[in-house]
């Protein structure tokens, strides 16, 4: 997940990483982390199909995502999601499952 604050600052919420849900055979406690936000902050949840490209470092995809979210941060959530998808999905179509959820906090 990524937070985009009204001032355009970006925070990737990656301090409590863990394998995907149901990837472990036995239930174990999952790591947790916290952060603060102000009203108007945008939370974006996404799958790897939105940011990963073959033969490219994943950090480039994360930068593309952050840049698009910041540029369109003043749009309503639906328009923001549409703009991000338009900018980030490959022109020939997605080759991986892609999901994007935008929540205005």
Residue ranges and CATH numbers for the domains of the chain are 2-17+39-104 (3.60.40.10)
Q: Does residue 36 register a pLDDT over 80?
A: yes
Measured CA distances, 92 to 2, 78, 86, 88, 89 (Å): 26, 23, 12, 12, 8
Q: Is the pLDDT of residue 16 over 80?
A: no
Q: d(Cα 34, Cα 10) in Å, to the nearest integer?
A: 15
Distance CA 84, CA 72 (A): 8
Q: What's the whole-number average pLDDT of the chain? A: 91
pLDDT at 6 (0 to 100) = 97
The secondary element (H helix, E strand) that includes residue 78 is helix 77-88
pTM: 0.87
User: Which residues, listed in sequence order, are joined to residue 104 by a DSSP beta bridge?
Assistant: 42
d(CA 14, CA 26): 23
Percent of the chain clearing pLDDT 70 (strictly above): 98
Q: Is the pLDDT of residue 74 over 80?
A: yes
The pLDDT value recorded for residue 23 is: 78
Split at pLDDT 50, 70, 90, the class of 30 is: confident
């Amino acid at each position: 997940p990524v937070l985009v604050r009204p001032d355009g600052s970006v925070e990737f919420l990656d301090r409590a990483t863990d394998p995907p849900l149901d990837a472990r055979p036995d239930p174990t406690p999952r790591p947790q982390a916290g952060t603060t936000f102000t009203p108007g902050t945008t939370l974006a949840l996404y799958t790897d199909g939105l940011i990963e490209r073959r033969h490219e470092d994943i950090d480039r995809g994360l930068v593309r995502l952050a840049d698009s979210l910041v540029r369109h941060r003043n749009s309503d959530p639906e328009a923001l999601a549409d703009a991000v998808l338009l900018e980030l999905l490959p022109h020939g179509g997605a080759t991986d499952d892609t999901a994007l959820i935008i929540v205005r906090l």
